[in-house]
Amino acid sequence: MKGFGMTRWIEKMGGVNLLPVAVMLVGFVLIGAPSSWVTLTVAGLAMGMMVFLMASGLSLVFGLMDVLNFGHSAFVSFGAFVAASVLAGLSGWLGAPSVLLNVAALALALAAALAFGLAAGLFFERVIIKPVYKDHLRQILITMGALIVSEQIILALWGGTPITVHRPAFLEGAWIIGDISIEIYRGFAFALGLVVFAGLYFTLNRTRLGLLIRAGVENREMVEALGFRIDRLFVGVFMLGSALAALGGAMWAGYLTLITPALGGEMMIVVFIVVIIGGLGSIEGTLLGALMVGLVSNYVGFLAPKLALASNMILMMAILMWRPSGLRPAVK
């Protein structure tokens, strides 16, 4: 009875939504030093938000149309390279003492990544995905193929040499509070991710379009029987997901400051882990998964660097053993 009472109390307090907080508390106990913990926590939350941007579209696309898109990471790569090119072209604005010019350069770079993601998403959905609806095996094969072709296009356009990504001056440096240091860029990445999450949450939960998407994730056929063309809605969701992945790639490029064409492929595993941990088709689940992956990666990287690579896999296995459909699945 005591255990049951505790479970109900935890559910009342937020249930699985508390997990990132629980991870932070465990991290605090294990790390000990508050300054290191704050730095790692901010880094983890920022990484989580950037991964959330990359993963949210993939989760919705799978939930809404049962489409497995292994080419999703191509949008991450392209977003990174498009943004890096725009920033390189506006290097004069980046280094200028005017914050306005700094912001304008960053806004243009992010807008270019978003616009590219929207256009590429439309092309990808119409040409690659549409012919293979309802056929998972062919989806995997053709989207993997598209990913390889995309990487080769990036190689042809930008070359194989790592490219330096310039950051705007106003995002360089760190906030120093006592002996705690917080990178400004990480704070910005976290804030941007939060704004995107709030926008998505509002759209999904407070608009008719969002209602259709949530219903479509649950039962696509019934939404169509109510008179809505879910295939057309899916094109829009696919484009949005691609644009967010490109935005995530652009932010990740600024975080790494040195990018290669393999960037998207490297992030793909993390993105899939996040989608699986969070539960398919759920934006809230994706955010939870992304924050936990970000935090665990940073804490484990500090505490046991040899386990850093395996930590996300171990986290995913642990979550799936507890909740086989993920933390907050919209599709079971």
* Smallest separation (angstroms) from another protein to the CB of 217: 8
CA angle centred on 296, ends 293 and 298, rounded to 5°: 105
Farthest-apart Cα atoms in the chain, separation:
66
Residue 235 lies near another protein (rule: CB under 8 A): no
- Asked if 229 interacts with another protein (CB under 8 A), we say yes
Does 11 help bind another protein (rule: CB under 8 A)? no
Query: Does 237 interact with another protein (rule: CB under 8 A)?
Result: no
Question: Does residue number 84 form part of the binding site for another protein (CB under 8 A)?
Answer: no
Task: Report yes or no: 245 and 124 within 8 Å, Cβ to Cβ.
Answer: no
227 binds another protein (CB under 8 A): yes
Does residue 212 interact with another protein by CB under 8 A? yes
Q: Is 105 in the site for another protein (CB under 8 A)?
A: no
Q: Check residue 200 for interaction with another protein (CB under 8 A).
A: no
Region of 95-103, 125-133, 134-142, 208-216 interacting with another protein (CB under 8 A): 208-216
Neighbours of 269 (CB within 10 A): 13
Residues 6+ apart with CB under 8 A from 48: 20, 193, 287, 290, 291, 292, 293, 294, 295
| Residue 230 near another protein by CB under 8 A | yes
Q: Quick check: 137 binds another protein (CB under 8 A)?
A: no
Number of residues that bind another protein (CB under 8 A): 18
H helices of the chain, in order, are 2-13, 19-31, 34-65, 72-89, 91-95, 99-124, 136-158, 184-206, 208-218, 220-225, 230-256, 263-278, 283-303, 308-322
Count CB-CB contacts under 10 A for residue 281: 26
221 binds another protein (CB under 8 A): yes
In the bound complex, what is the minimum distance in angstroms from residue 267's beta carbon to another protein?
29
Q: What are phi and psi of 180, to 5 degrees?
A: -100, 135
152 burial class (0-12, 13-18, 19+ CB within 10 angstroms)? exposed
Distance of closest approach, residue 283 Cβ to another protein, in angstroms: 13
Reduced 3-state DSSP string for 282-293: CHHHHHHHHHHH
Please say which residue, 44 or 216, places its beta carbon nearer to another protein: 216
Contact 104, 93 (CB under 8 A): yes
Determine if 211 is a binding residue for another protein (CB under 8 A).
yes
Instruction: Work out whether 65 is an interface residue with another protein (CB under 8 A).
Output: no
Which member of 10, 222, 313, 318 binds another protein (CB under 8 A)?
222
Q: Is 225 in the site for another protein (CB under 8 A)?
A: yes
Residues numbered 154 to 183 that lie near another protein (CB under 8 A) are none
Instruction: By CB under 8 A, tell whether 134 contacts another protein.
Output: no
| Cβ-based nearer residue to another protein, 295 or 330 | 330
Residues that bind another protein (CB under 8 A): 208, 211-212, 214-215, 218-219, 221-230, 330
